[in-house]
Chain A
């Protein structure tokens, strides 16, 4: 059974950092691209970042470029999102999701809440 379990969320002050983790199991992690998708309270879904199977290619939405870094450790079956210079508008639930070739997300984690507030 495919499982994606996020952790690392919480309350953080503006300008500070947070690192999210996503532990994957039930599939060969290194064979799949992965992504982070967020959802602000009562809002819709927004793609945040994606990473290729080996980690050599990364992609970001404009609003997080230069502040967020997606990475992965295939030996540990874990996806990461380093979030720096956090802003109030980054407040959201962050989902880890598995990528398929034509660009859809076939499995999602349960989500982790990030609240940026003083």
Chain B
């Protein structure tokens, strides 16, 4: 099973700051996907196939990476970005796995 380790587990940033969330895989994966989940709500697809923004996602978000290291980057954080972000991979064989999540708070 491919284990995904996210860092940091929690972070706080002020509006306008740049934020980077990292997801490291225990073995190489082809793509990484990211979800945003706000408190009490269902997860939402946020970034798919490593770098493609889901519908409605602001372009201050971006995704990058390859192999075992991937990142979600927010170029200039806004208050509405406060949420928990999860990375997720699907290797050739199940199971598909999620990272433990990164809780992003606004200062």
Contacting residues of chain A (12-54) with chain B, CB-CB under 8 angstroms: 37, 44-47, 50
Chain A residue nearest in CB terms to B101: A44
Neighbouring B residues of A111 by C-beta, 8 Å: 42
Contacting residues of chain B (26-81) with chain A, CB-CB under 8 angstroms: 30-31, 33, 35, 37, 42-45, 48-49, 54
Known: A102-B31, A102-B49, A106-B48. A44 touches B99 (CB 8 A): yes
Neighbouring B residues of A100 by C-beta, 8 Å: 48
Q: Are B42 and A44 in contact (CB under 8 A)?
A: no
Neighbouring B residues of A95 by C-beta, 8 Å: 42-43
Chain B contact residues: over half helix, strand or loop, or mixed?
A: loop
A117 within 8 A of B: no
Q: Are A108 and B99 in contact (CB under 8 A)?
A: no
Chain A residue nearest in CB terms to B99: A44
Known: A47-B96, A59-B94. A103 touches B101 (CB 8 A): no
Known: A95-B42, A103-B33. A44 touches B98 (CB 8 A): yes
Neighbouring B residues of A50 by C-beta, 8 Å: 94, 96
How many chain A residues touch B (CB < 8 A): the figure is 22
Neighbouring A residues of B90 by C-beta, 8 Å: 102-104
Neighbouring A residues of B31 by C-beta, 8 Å: 102-104
B22 within 8 A of A: no
Complex: A110 Cα to B44 Cα, angstroms: 11
Contacting residues of chain B (69-107) with chain A, CB-CB under 8 angstroms: 86, 88-90, 94-101
Complex: A109 Cα to B44 Cα, angstroms: 10
Neighbouring A residues of B95 by C-beta, 8 Å: 47, 59, 61-62
Complex: A111 Cα to B49 Cα, angstroms: 25
Contacting residues of chain A (55-76) with chain B, CB-CB under 8 angstroms: 59-62
Neighbouring B residues of A102 by C-beta, 8 Å: 30-31, 33, 48-49, 90
A-B contact pairs, 5 of them (CB 8 A): A45-B101, A59-B95, A95-B43, A103-B33, A105-B33
